[in-house]
Amino acid sequence: MTNTTATPVSSAILKDLPKNVQGPTYDRAAIKEGILHIGVGGFHRSHQALYLDDLFQSHGELDWAICGVGIMPQDAAMNKALQAQDCLYTLVERIGNKSTARIIGSLKTYLFGFENAELVFQRIADPAIKIITLTATEGGYCFHQGSGELDLDNKGIQNDLKNPKNPQTIFGYLAEGLELRRKANAGKVTILSCDNLQGNGHVAERTLLAFCQVKNPDLVGWIKENVSFPNCMVDRITPATTDAEREFVRSNYNLEDAFPVVAEPFKQWVVEDSFINGRPALEKVGVQFTKDVAPYEKMKIRLLNATHSAMGYLGYLCGYRYIYEIAQAPEFIPYLKALMDNEVTPLIDNVPGVNLAEYKQSLMERFANESIKDQALRICMDGSAKLPKFIFPSIVEQLERKGPIRKLTLCVASWIRFLEAKDEQGNEIPIQDPMADRLVAVAKTRDLKALLAMTDIFGDLGQNERFVKELTELLASLHEKGARATLDAVRAEA
Ligand code: CS2
């Protein structure tokens, strides 16, 4: 039922919020931008922006407000919503029948680079900006899976080299902006990647330097001296915003928000403390600073993100549409647990302060959170970028140690079956992946060899006999017996 009296979110309502909604009590006019963030989606708004809001709220550190940036054409809706709402939005945390809502005020401005890239370049060159944070997605770093190097043939990269004033990737924006910053003598800056990549800081550094080496070699030395790239691990399950979330906010909180965000209550951020030009005191609001993030990143990506992928593709083929349904399905639970326990856990090093059994148990509980309605299709997006980071490295390590790979390989087989873009009932599967055209065309021919020959995605995996054999068997089973029977058979194996 639509609530026609709901109040549109804007600064004007902060003085008089509905009783069950919290909002900034600090003076938003007094906050100063110190961070520029590229990629303001659901995740950034449920995670980093919340940590900063907490800091402003309870510790009065007001110099680290965020200048948000969108660079993709599809960010137009976010741009429209945030401009109309004074960059405010509602964050709802949901679990069971409990929900809490809060208006987040840490985002001060939003620049839509897709329409005006120059404004973004200038902000990158502003001495007030001391940190640039990124959520560019796993595919946004455009590197070749086999070599690990920046893929100079990537269409976006090609565009940014030829057309520097209208970039399409983070690299084009960063290279132009940092060049201005260098010329303006605007000082050092930290670039903090918040994407799910192991060694995300190293990846950002390597790819950006490779891009600049081609575009503007003069900048390379400056970056090496003046930019630091800490690694970090980020975590909070944040479904895509749909009309259902808008309606939830309307009917429960009497707010009209064009782009609310709903997330689970859990959040975690572990960051390497190597900020070259200062940082907010985020340790006061629960961020963990450490010298070595690697064990945390590996644990999170190989357990949480990998299990998500395993649920997404196979679950979708089995007819499920939400992650909680899959995480609660009795036929899936033992499969997911075996994947984590037998195939991934032996690869995880000691993680300081973490009990892995408890961590895995908490993952299963988080996946099963039915209030946030995380979409299987969200998880299935961009498989060409996710599997090489979440799943393949564990398979490679298990192959080296002659360990089990069956459950992980079933995830790969399910992805390949999913890419055929028709489900077992003959219904169209919507494939969202920058490489969709190329992948779907080959997946439909069922020529596995041709698919595995795409080394930019599969690296050398296609040359491993044992992997190819297991993958071939599982794919055949998906084709002949179907997803459910294949899951049953794999689950029954020791
Ligand atoms: C998910 C992540 O996109 C995915 O495949 O696994 O978005 C996941 O929800 C987050 O990394 C949780 O922190």
| pLDDT beyond 90 at 283 | yes
pLDDT band (50, 70, 90) for residue 219: very high
The pLDDT of residue 145: 81
Residue 212's pLDDT is 98
CB-based contact 227:191 (threshold 8 Å): yes
pLDDT of residue 2: 53
Determine if ligand 1 sits within 6 Å of the CB of residue 386.
Answer: yes
**Calpha distance 102→58 (Å, rounded):** 14
Specify the DSSP class assigned to residue 74: G
Q: Do the beta carbons of residue 349 and residue 400 sit within 8 Å?
A: no
**Mean pLDDT across 147-174:** 96
Fold of 7-290: Rossmann fold (3.40.50)
> Hey, what are 152's tokens?
């100079």
Asked if residues 287 and 236 have their Cβ atoms less than 8 Å apart, the reply is no
Find the mean pLDDT for residues 80-108. 98
The average pLDDT across 415-422 equals 98
DSSP 303-321: IIIHHHHHHHHHHHHTT--
Cβ of 372 below 6 Å from ligand 1: no
pTM beyond 0.75: the answer is yes
pLDDT over 70 at 494, yes or no: no
Split at pLDDT 50, 70, 90, the class of 3 is low
Assess whether pLDDT exceeds 60 at residue 1: no
Give me the mean pLDDT over the 378-403 stretch: 98
Superfamily of 294-493 according to CATH: N-(1-d-carboxylethyl)-l-norvaline Dehydrogenase; domain 2 (1.10.1040.10)
Phi, then psi, of 169 in degrees rounded to 5: -115, 165
DSSP 240: P
Q: How confident is the model at residue 4 (pLDDT cuts 50, 70, 90)?
A: low
Q: What is the pLDDT of residues 178-217, one digit of tens each?
A: 999 999 999 999 999 999 999 999 999 999 999 999 999 9
Average pLDDT along the chain: 97
- How many whole angstroms from 224 Cα to the centroid of ligand 1? 31
Cβ within 8 Å of residue 454, ≥6 positions away:
438, 439, 442
Which residue's CA is the closest to the ligand 1 atom numbered 13? 235
Task: Give the SS3 label for residue 46.
Answer: helix
User: Could you read off the pLDDT of 462-486 as tens digits, one per residue?
Assistant: 999 999 999 999 999 999 999 999 9
Q: Which ligand 1 atom is at minimum distance from the Cα of 235? A: 13
pLDDT band at residue 60 using 50, 70 and 90 as cut-offs: confident
CA atoms within 13 A on the CB side of 135: 18
Closest CA to 257 of 268, 265, 249, 267: 249
Name the residue ranges covered by the structural domains of the chain: 7-290, 294-493
Among protein residues, the one with the nearest Cα to ligand 1's atom 10 is 237
Please tell me the distance between residue 305's alpha carbon and the centre of ligand 1 in angstroms: 6
- The residue whose C-alpha atom lies closest to atom 3 belonging to ligand 1 is 379
DSSP class per residue in 269-280 = EEEE---BTB--
